[in-house]
Structure 1
Amino acid sequence: MPAPEAVAALEPVPAPRVALPRPFLLGVDGGGTKTTAAVLDLRRSTLTTATAGPSNLDVVGLDGAAAAIMEAVRGALGRAGATAHEVAAAVLAVASADTDENQEALRDRLTELRPVGRPLVLNDVVAAWAAGTLGRPGVAVISGTGSNALGVAADGRTWRCGGWGHLLGDEGSGYWIGLHGMRAAVEFRDGRAPWSALVPRLLAFYRLDLVESVDDLVYGSLDKAGIAAFAVEVAAAAAAGDAVAHRILTEAGRLLADQVRTVIDRLGLVGEFPVALVGGTFNSGPPFLEAFTALVTATSPHARLVRPRMSPAVGAVLLAARQAGAERLVDWAGLGALRA
């Protein structure tokens, strides 16, 4: 669950401050594949962004995450013509930043941001929620390299489901799909499963001569993002009519929907509310999306499945504006057109 200070950031500030001596806001979205920093100039309503490598704490560790975050932040601030001394508030939404301890440890490593004061470090799903709902009650579900879901009720209660990483969870994610695509090829090699076009796709994608070589690859040099990358091939095989790939995508959609349904049930969400779909896995094709949609709407028929109006990095900027009391100074719907 979000920390108390994170929950406070979800609550709208009643009135904006008249003038901000520091005219910039900073938001960061850090995941298992990339890190994006976005800087908003409140005077001009202009947005600048920069991207660096992954910053998922479970994947690259605290030092690696801090390095990627600061590379992206320096780039975005530089393009905005700003320094950290001119930033009114900063929200860093980082995958696997789940506890007070690792959030504080990450903040301690971001020494260049100390002029900001105390940047708020959150799990990346919180920024995805802000981006998908414009900071209003509803649910956001991430399915990219990993998976996660967060809901916020009208009374401010929150519930998160998933986000346990690839060893304990990540069901319905690109990693889960890629891994099960690889397993399908291995199981065919063993004689435990039927032929699938995933076998030649696996060999071609990773430039292997034999299926037997996949274990050296997976246990040797391939990381989480490298396994998740194979999800694109699973989607392509399903689109071409492969039954095994189709089944993998369908199951992934169902597992992801189960996270969303758990959030909805825990919060008691009823009637119409948004469910924001965040991440590239939602582009995997009909088997995934139809299975996901069917399960969510079976119990919440008035839930609105929406694509975010802005990127998660801009969602983090929205939360920074909320922290600074500047949320009402910005046309967030219009800003969303400048997607980071």
Structure 2
Amino acid sequence: MDNKMYFGGVEGGATHSNMVICDNTGRVVGRAEGPGTNQWALGMEECTKRIIAMVQAAREDAGIPNDRILDSLGLTLSGCGPESSNSELAARVKEKDSKIGIIYVGSDTEGSLFTGAPEGGMVLIAGTGSNGLLRTSDGKQYGCGGWGHMLGDEGSAYWIAHRAVKKAFDQMDGLRPSPHPIHNVWEAIREHFNIQKQDDLLRHAYKDFDKSRYAGLTAKLSELAFQGDALSCHLFAEAGSAIAAHIMALAPKATGKVRIVCVGSVWKSWEVLKPGVLKELTDQKLNLELEFVRLRVSSAMGAAWIAAKQANYVLPRDDTIFCDVLYTYRGKDNLNVTNCLNGENGSIGDSKVNGRHFEDGQLCGCDNCAFAAGVIGYVSFKEKIYAATVINDLKGRREKYNFIADVVAVSAPAVVYIEIKDGRRVDLFSGRPITLSNGSGFIVKEDGLILTNAHVVVNKPNSIVSVKLMDGSTHTGIVEDVDLKSDLATLRIPVNGLPTMKLGSSADIKPGEWVVAMGSPLSLSNTVTAGVVSSTQRASEELGLRGKDMVYIQTDAPITFGNSGGPLVNLDGEAIGINSMKVTSGISFAIPIDYVKEFLAKRKTKPPQVSKRYLGITMLTLSPNILMELRLRNPEMPTDIEHGILVWKVIIGSPAYNGGLQPGDIVTHINGKPVHSASDIYMMLENSSGSLRIDVVRGRQRITLSVTPEIHS
């Protein structure tokens, strides 16, 4: 048998993955490519399957028999973080392919770091969720940023493109003057989006929004910057400053010379980013030596290197092949240029770099440095003068741009408030039936037919349904049709000639499209929230809603408890969905209107079905995707939660309410048995008697509650 050793490494992104196999000399002997391997987006099973497929393909490319052991495999994947899920993924891969030795699972940032700086250094990612990660020579790691595009992608291609459009439009609108002429940038915008006037860009900002296409504008801006366009230089310098802020955040933890591995497409424009990067570092008086490098190879090489190290083997490597050095910042040597940036008395001199003239004196002309100073977004004297100028030509903007108000004016008359009252119990003071819960609905036929969620009107024994219209009148409603599988229901009130909601189509909606969630929570008529469509194809299985066999619309328009059952409306005033649930801030779901049309076409009169044991909660299964998004938005959430259901709503006066359950609680166990889905709750209700011992996570606390379900026919 030969003495060869083989070490595999996978660079796993959200949309694309690469794998390499190296022998013990460090030579790449096999490669493979595959689709994305983000376990949170795909689920653990699908992620494992894709990894195994790449391992087999790389083995075949290397000519390694399937029965030959890989000494180690490094998986540095998008979305990998919590140790518990990393361990589970490693175990699943091992289970599927027993011919793999040691398996290491880490983040994609670690892969980049160990590819470019195996002995310690920093990774600086400019992209969706721009972030920095520092690994010191003693193995400690520190990070900053990386919270996704909702909280910041500073310095990324999209960030630059967005600011370019904003500065050009603000100048043309007279809203805020651009620091430099916009002509070249505006021409680049027109050419990139194939538009003629400002209004033409609206479809790219709403219905046809495509973040990657928007970001593509930055390539044209880079060309303009290298040609000397002042505004483009300004934009890239701002980006460089924003990226360098991550360095400053981590600098207190660093010592000696630090290699910075630069990841992201904008680093291709280093020469025009550099002015902003260096000015940020010098302004902050950073006294460290930094070596900026870009990777020439896939970070799968770093994954293989880490895994080999786990197997007590150091893979040979040629650093000149792995990286290109962009620039070396030498601490104190760079600090002596700070004074010359501002010139005498704070003014900036006019100069040239590489033969190109930059107007308004944006470049330092000294021999020690040739980088932009005034191009960063700091307030200059000229900007202060502009800021003091009063702009009086904004009249008419409210009428022109209030598109949300226009949608509300058309749609609001058809939205109703639904209140569920307990027919058995009355309020001691008013003598009226106690209100159990409330929700919303909307009128779909003039003869009083109203559409809402099934969970709004069913599973509440002895209930009375009260419907309040926009004109203030209140009517008793009768539930006609219920489909618990799709969570849809209709009820009818004895009124004719009512305003109706026009039903649109959910087949052609696109991510980024503006939508309005309407409802009447707590009897507050016409409560409105707005946002955009985040996803049009969020499968029920992905949300852990087993047996639904449908997809949901995900939106960042907040859907409150009372908005549930109300319409999700597009800018044409058409209902494209029914508001269903809000999981947390920025994550809400609606039932597509095309399912609703099928339900209305097939509806048959049948009584609402309720469980014989009544608990009184609306719940959502915590799938891996939902768990990941909850963790991102709630740092207090314990990291070891891997299953359970989220209590979304608790009916007032119900057994759950009396037992102490609250909205936002996570139920992990009932009577000592783990809860993995909502169906587990229903089975335990049907197959048990007496009280339930419910283990709950509430914030950081773990508590146990006793709840006694009601029994009814």
Coarse TM-score class (shorter-chain normalised): 0.7 to 0.9
Contact 1:32–1:145 (CA under 8 A) maintained in structure 2: no
1:97–1:337 Cα change, 3 Å: closer
Map of 1:241 onto structure 2: 228
Q: CA deviation at 1:91?
A: 1.8
Q: 1:98 aligns with which of 50, 75, 81?
A: 81
Contact 2:130–2:153 (CA under 8 A) maintained in structure 1: yes
Q: 1:29 aligns with which of 11, 16, 22?
A: 11
Structure 1 position 40 matched with structure 2 position 22: yes
Q: 1:128 aligns with which of 94, 112, 118?
A: 112
Q: Write the mapping of 1:1-340 to structure 2, written as runs, cut at 5 A.
A: 23-31=5-13, 34-42=16-24, 45-55=27-37, 62=43, 73-82=55-64, 83=66, 86-100=69-83, 103=86, 112=96, 115-116=99-100, 119-133=103-117, 135-144=118-127, 146-188=129-171, 190-193=173-176, 194=178, 195-265=182-252, 267=253, 269-296=254-281, 298-308=285-295, 310-327=297-314, 330-333=315-318, 336=321
- Distance in 1 separating the partners of 2:280 and 2:20: 34
- Distance in 2 separating the partners of 1:161 and 1:289: 21
Q: CA deviation at 1:200?
A: 2.9
For residues 116-171 of structure 1, what are the alpha-carbon distances to aligned partners after superposition, in whole Å with 9 as ceiling and x for unaligned? 367433221111111121x1122221235553211112222210112211111221
Task: Tell me the percent identity.
Answer: 24
Q: CA deviation at 1:103?
A: 4.2
Contact 1:282–1:289 (CA under 8 A) maintained in structure 2: no
| Counterpart residue type for residue 142 of structure 2 | W
| Counterpart residue type for residue 247 of structure 1 | H
1:294–1:45 Cα change, 3 Å: same
Q: CA deviation at 1:108?
A: 7.5
Moved more, 182-191 or 104-113: 104-113
For residues 269-318 of structure 1, what are the alpha-carbon distances to aligned partners after superposition, in whole Å with 9 as ceiling and x for unaligned? 22223222233321114231232234346413422233447542211111
Secondary structure (helix, strand or coil) at the match of 1:172 reads coil
- Distance in 2 separating the partners of 1:176 and 1:113: 42
| Counterpart residue type for residue 281 of structure 1 | V
Q: CA deviation at 1:258?
A: 1.0
| Counterpart residue type for residue 236 of structure 1 | E
Secondary structure (helix, strand or coil) at the match of 2:149 reads helix
Q: CA deviation at 1:254?
A: 1.0
| Counterpart residue type for residue 226 of structure 1 | R
- Distance in 1 separating the partners of 2:13 and 2:296: 19
- Distance in 2 separating the partners of 1:84 and 1:254: 52
Secondary structure (helix, strand or coil) at the match of 2:260 reads strand
TM-score calculated relative to the size of structure 1: 0.76
Q: CA deviation at 1:70?
A: 5.8
- Distance in 2 separating the partners of 1:20 and 1:300: 51
Count residues with an aligned counterpart.
315
Report the RMSD for the aligned CA atoms in angstroms.
3.7
- Distance in 2 separating the partners of 1:301 and 1:177: 28
Q: CA deviation at 1:39?
A: 1.6
Q: CA deviation at 1:264?
A: 1.9
Moved more, 148-157 or 78-87: 78-87
1:303–1:256 Cα change, 3 Å: same
- Distance in 2 separating the partners of 1:224 and 1:129: 27
- Distance in 2 separating the partners of 1:218 and 1:84: 53
1:309–1:216 Cα change, 3 Å: closer
| Counterpart residue type for residue 141 of structure 1 | L
- Distance in 1 separating the partners of 2:102 and 2:59: 17
| Counterpart residue type for residue 31 of structure 1 | G
- Distance in 2 separating the partners of 1:102 and 1:229: 35
Contact 2:26–2:317 (CA under 8 A) maintained in structure 1: no
Q: CA deviation at 1:196?
A: 4.3
Map of 1:14 onto structure 2: none
1:123–1:215 Cα change, 3 Å: farther
- Distance in 2 separating the partners of 1:273 and 1:35: 28
Contact 1:84–1:113 (CA under 8 A) maintained in structure 2: no
Secondary structure (helix, strand or coil) at the match of 1:164 reads coil
Q: CA deviation at 1:253?
A: 0.8
| Counterpart residue type for residue 314 of structure 1 | M
Q: CA deviation at 1:81?
A: 2.6
Contact 1:196–1:243 (CA under 8 A) maintained in structure 2: no
- Distance in 1 separating the partners of 2:185 and 2:110: 35
| Counterpart residue type for residue 42 of structure 1 | N
Moved more, 165-174 or 178-187: 178-187
- Distance in 2 separating the partners of 1:143 and 1:231: 13
- Distance in 2 separating the partners of 1:57 and 1:215: 35
For residues 172-198 of structure 1, what are the alpha-carbon distances to aligned partners after superposition, in whole Å with 9 as ceiling and x for unaligned? 222322332343444455443543433
- Distance in 1 separating the partners of 2:210 and 2:89: 22
Which ranges of structure 1 fall in alignment gaps of 5 or more residues? 1-18
- Distance in 1 separating the partners of 2:170 and 2:35: 33
1:296–1:78 Cα change, 3 Å: farther
Of structures 1 and 2, the one with the larger relative CO (CA 8 A, separation 6+) is 1
- Distance in 2 separating the partners of 1:338 and 1:277: 10
Higher fraction of strand: 2
1:171–1:336 Cα change, 3 Å: same
Moved more, 41-50 or 67-76: 67-76
1:139–1:36 Cα change, 3 Å: same
1:289–1:75 Cα change, 3 Å: farther
- Distance in 2 separating the partners of 1:219 and 1:102: 36
Secondary structure (helix, strand or coil) at the match of 1:122 reads strand
